[in-house]
Each structure stands twice: as structure tokens, then as C-alpha cells.
Amino acid sequence: MSTRICVVGDELVAGVGDARGMGWVGRVAARTRAEEPPAFFTLAVPQETTTALSGRWESECNRRFGKDGGHLVIAPGAADLEAGISLARSRLNLANILDDAASRAIPTFVLGPPPRPGMEESALAALSEAFADVCGRRRVPYVETFAPLHTHEQWQADVAAGDGSHPGQAGYGLLAWLVLHNGWHSWLGLPEQN
């Protein structure tokens, strides 16, 4: 049976704003070549906080993993900032998810929050750094998206050309590139691919 990968997070997990409907998850899936290609299950909730995510991931993923288990990708967005959740609470929420997954031997991969219009850059940078620290302490792969994209002209133009909040095809392509070139294949036990 192929590896089952549950991807949990906000609306970017679902590819909102992508005219092709692939988002970053679809692009990563298309570039993940294996003898038995993994099965991807996107479990997105728009503007979801880490508090809400920590309360739902396990029950939703359990139904999709089956008896053989699976892999977990967490892609928390910036909703914690809008909801006024403290940095300490955001850290704790992610840590709890990672610790629960580790106790069940579920391999986990985390994609950090990308730049979003209307978000204070320093606050979003701090949130991303906090998530990176939580992952680093647990040796969980973390893909930083804020730092490489916050001044990236193509990212900014793509978000501005769409609905002003979500990227389009180019932006999702950039997210997929970051995932694919930051430990994705080795996390799945696959040889690195071009």
C-alpha cells in the first residue's frame, strides 16, 4: 500500500486562489515520484489557528491513515496573529501536535507560514521563527517560507494579481519549490529528484 500523507493547515493547503486548482500540495504530489506514489489527503480549514488545528488533526488523520499509519504535514498559517494568540501559545500548540505525532511514530514535516498582505512582517517573522525553533528542538523538518518570500517580487506580484490575500499559480509554485528542495524526498525515504 502506498504511503498516506495527510496535509493539515489553513486555506493555502487547499490551493485557494490557484486557477489550476493544484496549490502547492498538488505540485508537490506531482513531483514526488516513487514506485508506489503516496496518497495525499488535504485537510484544510480556512483561517485556522494552531489551537483549532491541535484539536482536530488527530481524529481527521486517523480516519485516513488506516491501520498502517501515515505521514503528517502541518502547514500552519498566520491566523494566530489575527486571533490574538500569543507566541507562547502558538509554540505550545505546535509542540503538542508534534509530540503527539511522535508518540504515535507518525513522521511529521512542517511548512511555515508565508508572507500575507495586511500582516505585520515582524510579527509573522517571529511566528515563523518560533515554529522553526519548536521543530528544530524535535528534529522535525521545517521549511521556512516567510524569509525567502517576503521580498520575492514574483510572490508579491502573484498575490497582488489575485484576490490580494492568496497566491496564484506562480506563488504556489514557489511554495512547492521550497518544499521539494528542503528535505521532502529524504523525509519520505526517496532519492533526491530534480
Does the predicted model carry a pTM greater than 0.85?
Answer: yes
CB-side neighbour CA atoms (13 Å) of 15: 19
Answer yes or no: is 110 within a domain: yes
Region 142-153: mean pLDDT is 96
Give residue 49's pLDDT.
97
Which domain, by its residues, includes 115? 4-187
In a domain, 152, yes or no: yes
Q: Where are the beta strands (DSSP E) in the chain?
A: 4-9, 39-44, 71-75, 108-111, 142-143
32-61 pLDDT, tens digit per residue, is 988 888 999 999 999 999 999 999 999 999
Residue 193 lies in a domain: no
Q: How confident is the model at residue 191 (pLDDT cuts 50, 70, 90)?
A: confident
Question: If you average pLDDT over residues 132-156, what whole number do you get?
Answer: 97
Mean pLDDT along residues 10-37: 94
Please check whether residue 192 lies inside any domain of the structure.
no
Total domains in the fold of the chain: 1
Q: Cell numbers 514506485 correspond to what residue?
A: 35
Domain annotation covers residue 69: yes
Q: Are 18 and 172 in contact (CB under 8 A)?
A: yes
pLDDT given for residue 194 in this prediction: 63
CATH number for the domain including 12? 3.40.50.1110
Kindly state whether residue 132 falls inside one of the protein's structural domains.
yes
